[in-house]
């Protein structure tokens, strides 16, 4: 069965969100193993990317209402695993339709 373009667009947006959230884990590795400055840069890039994605795809915030508040403190700590896992569940649900 073929997905319509709106479902495909939503799926691509969610996959992009997953990629951006994964950058927080890369930043943690940078903190632990090579460069705090690079970790900060990676987190800032992820936050900007997520904010850009939310502006382009407002449906994302409806699905993950705590995401915006988590971005406010993300430069200081990691995005919660619960958000990442919720994105994974949403992607799995969309890709099986």
d(CA 30, CA 38): 7
What distances in angstroms separate CA 27 from CA 5, 23, 44, one per listed residue? 33, 6, 10
Residue pLDDT, tens place only, 31-64: 888 888 998 898 899 999 999 999 999 999 998 8
pLDDT digits (tens, 9 = 90+) for 72-96: 876 556 666 777 788 888 888 866 5
Query: What range does the domain containing 55 cover?
Result: 5-95
32/90 Cα distance (integer angstroms): 30
Q: Which two tokens stand for residue 32?
A: 């632990």
Instruction: Measure Cα distances from 36 to 2, 15, 17, 32, 76 in Å.
Output: 45, 27, 23, 8, 12
In total, how many domains does the chain have? 1
Q: Count CB neighbours of 85 within 10 A.
A: 10
């Amino acid at each position: 069965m073929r997905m319509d373009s709106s479902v495909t667009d939503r799926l691509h947006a969610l996959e992009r969100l997953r990629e951006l959230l994964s950058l927080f884990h890369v930043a943690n590795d940078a903190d632990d193993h090579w460069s705090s400055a690079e970790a900060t840069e990676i987190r800032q890039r992820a936050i900007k990317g997520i904010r850009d994605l939310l502006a382009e795809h407002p449906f994302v915030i409806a699905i993950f209402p705590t995401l915006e508040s988590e971005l406010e403190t993300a430069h200081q700590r990691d995005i919660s695993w619960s958000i990442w896992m919720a994105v994974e569940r949403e992607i799995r649900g969309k890709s099986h339709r």
